[in-house]
C-alpha cells in the first residue's frame, strides 16, 4: 500500500522528494495514532517524532532555494546532501533556519516538542523529570496529538502536492484526531 516509501529517495528531484516525505509524515502520523489507540504510548511518541522529521525534510526540499540563498558552495552541498534528510542532531538548527528564511513560523517550538517525544520514546515516563519531560504517559499522549495536529496544519499549505493515497491518509489522520 505504501510501497513508494520503500524506494530510494529521489534526492536530485527535490519536488519528488518533498512529495514522498509529506506522504511519509502522514503515514507515520497515522501509525502513531494507531499506537495511541492501543495504549502503546512510547511507540506512538517515536512515530510522531518520525513524522515530524519527515515533515522537516519535505519543508527543506520545498524551500531549498530560499534556504540556500546567500550560502557558499559548501553550505549548499551540505544542505542538499545532509540537510534534506533532517538529521535528528540537526533538527533544531534546520527548524530555526526554516523559520528565519521562510514564512514558516512556529517550527522551532514544535521541533522541541518532537525532540521531547523522542526522549520519551527511549526513556518512558519519568516522575523525576530527569530523562524525560513527561512524568506520565497521559502527558506524552497529549503532546503526540498536538504535534500531529500542527504537522497537519503545515501539510495543508502543500496539499496540492499530495497524491490520492496521501490525501486519503490525511483524511484518516484527521478522523482519528477528531474521534
Residue (of 138, 125, 147, 176) closest to 39 by Cα position: 138
Residue (of 151, 130, 168) closest to 59 by Cα position: 151
Can you list the alpha helix ranges (DSSP code H) found in the chain? 14-37, 41-62, 64-68, 73-81, 91-101, 107-123, 137-156, 164-178
Q: In sequence order, which residues have a C-beta less than 8 Å from that of residue 36 and are 6 or more positions away? A: 44, 141, 144, 145
Q: Rounded to whole angstroms, how far apart are CA atoms 50 and 28?
A: 6
- What's the CATH code of the domain at 104? 1.20.120.330
In degrees, to the nearest 5, what angle opens at C-alpha 21 toward C-alphas 179 and 162?
A: 65
Return the number of other C-beta atoms located less than 10 Å from residue 131's C-beta.
13
Mind listing the pLDDT tens digit for each residue in 71-130?
A: 999 999 999 999 999 999 999 999 999 999 999 999 999 999 999 999 999 999 999 999
* Domain enclosing residue 37, as ranges: 3-178
How far CA 162 is from CA of 44, 81, 107, 129, in Å, comes to 24, 24, 21, 39
Report the number of distinct structural domains present in the chain. 1
Asked whether the predicted pLDDT for residue 18 surpasses 80, the reply is: yes
Mind listing the pLDDT tens digit for each residue in 36-58?
A: 999 999 999 999 999 999 999 99
Mind listing the pLDDT tens digit for each residue in 61-72?
A: 999 999 999 999
Q: Rounded to whole angstroms, how far apart are CA atoms 86 and 159?
A: 21
Amino acid at each position: 500500500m505504501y510501497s513508494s516509501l520503500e524506494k530510494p529517495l529521489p534526492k536530485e528531484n527535490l519536488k519528488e522528494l518533498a512529495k514522498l516525505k509529506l506522504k511519509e509524515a502522514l503515514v507515520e502520523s497515522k501509525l502513531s495514532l494507531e499506537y495511541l489507540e492501543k495504549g502503546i504510548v512510547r511507540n506512538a511518541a517515536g512515530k510522531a517524532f518520525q513524522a515530524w522529521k519527515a515533515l522537516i525534510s519535505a519543508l527543506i526540499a520545498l524551500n531549498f532555494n530560499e534556504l540556500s540563498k546567500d550560502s557558499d558552495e559548501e553550505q549548499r552541498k551540505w544542505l542538499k546532501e545532509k540537510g534534506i534528510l533532517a538529521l535528528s542532531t540537526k533538527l533544531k538548527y534546520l527548524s530555526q533556519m526554516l523559520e528565519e528564511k521562510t514564512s514558516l513560523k512556529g517550527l522551532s517550538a514544535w521541533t522541541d516538542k518532537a525532540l521531547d517525544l523522542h526522549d520519551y520514546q527511549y526513556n518512558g515516563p519519568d516522575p523525576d523529570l530527569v530523562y524525560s519531560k513527561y512524568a506520565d504517559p497521559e502527558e506524552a499522549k497529549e503532546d503526540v496529538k498536538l504535534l500531529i495536529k500542527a504537522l497537519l496544519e503545515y501539510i495543508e499549505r502543500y496539499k496540492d502536492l499530495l497524491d490520492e493515497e496521501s490525501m486519503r491518509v490525511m483524511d484518516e489522520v484527521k478522523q482519528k484526531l477528531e474521534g
